[in-house]
Structures are given as C-alpha cells and as structure tokens.
Amino acid sequence: MLYKGENLKRIAIYPGSFDPVTNGHLDIMERGLSLFDEIIMAILINPSKKSLFSVKERVELLEKSTEQFDNIHVDTFNGLLVDYAKQKGAVAILRGMRAVSDFEYEFQLALMNRRLNRDVQTVFLMTGMRWIFTSSSIIKEAAAFDGDVSGMVPPIVEKRLKEKLRMGN
C-alpha cells in the first residue's frame, strides 16, 4: 500500500545469476519497464554455485547490455532476496516465466519470499515466444561446442563467451 508522502517511484528487483545475461532476460527487463519506474538487475553472489563468468564480469556484461536505459541499475547482493528488496525500497521482485517447467521452482521461490516478507510482491512476466527455449545454461552449452548463439545474447556476451571458451574457461 502507498501512503501519503511515500516515494512514488515503483522499484522492482530483477534477481538472478545472469551467468551470462541473455536476450530472454533483456526481454523480461524491457517488459518490466512498462510496469515499474526503475528496475535493479541484482546478481546473487553465491560462491557455492559454479559459474562461468565471475561476479565482476557478469556485472560488466549486464551494465554494457543495459547502458541505453537510464532506469535500469545493476547491483549484486548476498543473503535473503527479500531483505535486499526491502533495503532498496522495492515493491516487487520481477521474474520471467518461460515454460511450465519453470513453474514449480518459481512458485516455491515466490511463496517462500512472501512468507519471509508479505510486503514484497513477486511479479511474473512471460517471455516473448522467441526466447521461450533459451536459458543461460543451454546457451553456454551450445557455445562450448562452438554452436552459433548470435541473436540469443547481446553481442558483447557473444564475444566474451567465445573468448572465455577459447581460453578453455
């Protein structure tokens, strides 16, 4: 609920691993901008999850891929997402939903987050049909075997994927 005098800016947190950011993520982000005044793309710092790109690299790739948007910010967080959302004054958590296979995990996450903080709503947006089968992991796998991932990730990500995989990680 919005009370008199409260900040009218509607901020959403779009959390994820973004290892790396894909055009599917950017599609959700752009759709989210029609609902929110500001979106914070927040990368979870999770040392126990093996990632291809370091947090620093992921931040850079996200920043470069979103630089044309004034109301998109890139940040990192650790700990509970709802605590981070509260600290940022966010009203919502934004997540993308592709196929039914995403549903169970997303449902669990959203309900746990609601239990932890009832003031932060989870908002799911459907990706465009062209991104329905893309995911960071499938893109990494294709790129590792020299598959063409152009058009599925921003050009800078495609370049960095090639460099990284050529270096043998």
Q: Is 136 an active-site residue?
A: yes
- The region of 62-70, 108-116, 139-147, 153-161 touching ligand PNS under the rule CB under 6 A is 108-116
From CA 112, how far away is CA 129, in angstroms rounded? Answer: 28
Instruction: Kindly write out the interface string for residues 73-92 of this chain, putting x where it contacts ligand PNS by CB under 6 A and - elsewhere.
Output: -------xx-----------
Opening angle at CA 147, ends 142 and 153, nearest 5? 70
Q: Which is nearer to ligand PNS, 4 or 50 (CB)?
A: 50
Per-residue binding string, ligand PNS, 41-60, x by CB under 6 A, is ---x----------------
How far is the C-alpha of 6 from the C-alpha of 1, rounded, in Å? 10
Could you give the CA distance from residue 118 to residue 91 in angstroms, rounded to a whole number?
10
Minimum CB separation from ligand PNS for residue 42, in Å? Answer: 8
Position among 35, 45, 111, 112 found at the interface with ligand PNS (CB under 6 A): 112
Q: Strand 92-97 relative to strand 121-126: parallel, antiparallel, unpaired?
A: parallel
Phi first, then psi: what are they for 117, rounded to 5°?
Answer: -155, 110
Pick the closer one to ligand PNS by CB: 115 or 166: 115
Determine the distance from the C-alpha atom of residue 77 to the mean position of all C-alpha atoms in its chain, rounded to a whole number.
Answer: 12
- Which one is catalytic: 58, 65, 95, 98? 98
β 72-77/11-16 pair status:
unpaired
Q: Please list the active-site residues.
A: 25, 49, 98, 136
Q: Which residues bind ligand PNS (CB under 6 A)?
A: 15-17, 44, 80-81, 109, 112-113
